[in-house]
């Protein structure tokens, strides 16, 4: 029995089986390592994104150019799509196969439908031009209701809303100043855990130190304030943006979470544009602007009063 067992371990089949098992174990370790590395990479990228929300912003809109844009066609006359469709209908000549298979009437009907659809498309294009023209006229005249309409139409904060925060814009009766309430919803956005790789290449998940969590929250809030201001400066002819950031924090007097203002800042366009935004620390840069913020490294944000418009 012993000799027979030794012989079986010397066979080619046995050796191949052992080599295959070793190969599969190595592949699994490699797969697990790549998976762990990818998860840590995504985590670190997400943290970096939260700290640099302010870097990306909308392209500026030239409302004067929008106002001066000519209509797509003269009212009362056929639009370009309708004219093209009418020409195609007039140019249609049934060929042998259309007559042979009785497709003449259906082809003519399709061309008539195409003309009707073209009329609708031209009308939609003209309505869009008219709405943009009228909106540009109101914005250039300082109509604050038009400012709100532009923000609603362009949705500059759509990606931030998808992230978890939400925003409410309102006029201030000063055409150069626009205001925004920024609800942070940090519980939806900020991670409470840290992902790292161990020396052996395994994924390690641990609780984020409270000081690191509060620092990340401060950077996200301040970075988003700058991003909000940049987007509004891009789409509105204003020179200042007033941003009130609110979030839930513990009210130790009553022992429950309450929604309070945690940062209130007045962002000046000229000053903001003078900063090297890719190099700033948003939590430090906020000090350059008129603001109210009470932040403690070990306790985070404390409630503050809103700046007056």
Mean pLDDT by 10 residues, the chain (309 residues): 55 65 69 82 92 91 93 84 79 70 74 82 87 92 91 92 92 90 93 90 91 96 96 95 92 81 96 95 96 94 92
DSSP the chain: -HHHHHHHHHSHHHHHHHHHHHHHHHHHHHHHHHHHHHHHHHHHHHHHHHHTGGG--PPP--HHHHHHPPPSS-TTS--HHHHHHHHHHHH----HHHHHTT-HHHHHHHHHHHHHHHHHHHHHHHHHHHHHHHHHHHHHTT-HHHHHHHHHHH-TTHHHHHHT-EEEEEE-S-TTEEEEEEE--HHHHS-SEEEEE-TTS-EEEEEPPHHHHHHHHHHHHHHHHHHHHHHHHHHSS-SEEEEEEEEEEEETTTTEEEEEEEEEEEEEHHHHHTS-TTT--HHHHGGGSEEEEEEETTTEEE--PPPP-
Q: For position 171, what pLDDT does the model report?
A: 85
Proportion of the chain above pLDDT 90, given as a percent: 53
Q: Burial of 84 by CB count in 10 Å (0-12 exposed, 13-18 middle, 19+ buried)?
A: middle
The predicted-structure confidence for 23-61, as pLDDT tens digits, reads as follows: 677 667 767 778 888 888 999 999 999 999 999 888 899
Instruction: Report pLDDT digits (tens) over 95-119.
Output: 777 667 677 677 778 877 887 888 8
> What was the pLDDT predicted at 13?
61
pLDDT value of residue 9:
60
Burial zone of 148 (CB within 10 Å; 0-12 exposed, 13-18 middle, 19+ buried): middle
Q: What is the pLDDT of residue 17?
A: 65
Bridge partners of residue 294, in order along the sequence? 302
Q: What is the pTM of this model?
A: 0.81
Beta bridge partners of 195: 205
């Amino acid at each position: 029995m012993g000799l027979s067992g030794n012989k079986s371990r010397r066979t080619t089949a046995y050796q191949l089986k052992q080599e295959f098992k070793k190969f599969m174990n190595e592949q699994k370790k490699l797969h697990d390592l790549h998976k762990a590395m990818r998860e840590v990479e995504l985590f670190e990228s997400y943290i970096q994104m939260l700290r640099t929300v302010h870097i990306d912003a909308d392209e500026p809109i030239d409302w004067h150019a929008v106002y001066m844009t000519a209509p797509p066609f003269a009212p009362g006359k056929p639009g370009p799509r309708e004219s093209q469709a009418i020409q195609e209908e007039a140019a249609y000549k049934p060929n042998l196969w259309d007559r042979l298979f009785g497709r003449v009437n259906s082809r003519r009907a399709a061309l008539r439908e195409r003309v009707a659809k073209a009329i609708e498309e031209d009308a939609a294009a003209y309505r869009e031009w008219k709405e943009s023209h009228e909106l540009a006229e109101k914005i250039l005249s300082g109509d604050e209701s038009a400012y709100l309409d532009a923000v609603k139409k362009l949705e500059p904060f759509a990606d931030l809303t998808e992230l978890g925060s939400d925003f409410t814009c309102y006029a201030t009766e000063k055409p150069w100043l626009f205001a925004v309430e920024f609800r942070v919803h940090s519980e939806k956005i900020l991670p409470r855990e840290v992902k790292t790789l161990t020396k052996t290449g395994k994924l390690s998940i641990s609780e984020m130190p409270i000081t690191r969590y509060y620092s990340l929250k401060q950077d996200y809030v301040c970075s988003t304030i700058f991003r909000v201001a940049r987007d509004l400066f891009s789409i509105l002819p204003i020179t200042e943006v007033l941003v009130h950031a609110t979030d839930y924090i513990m009210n130790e007097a009553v022992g429950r979470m309450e929604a309070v203002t945690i940062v209130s800042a007045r962002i000046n366009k000229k000053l903001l544009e003078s900063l090297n935004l890719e190099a700033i620390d948003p939590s430090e840069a906020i000090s350059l602007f008129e603001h109210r913020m009470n932040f403690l490294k070990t306790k985070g944000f404390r409630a503050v009063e809103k700046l007056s418009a």
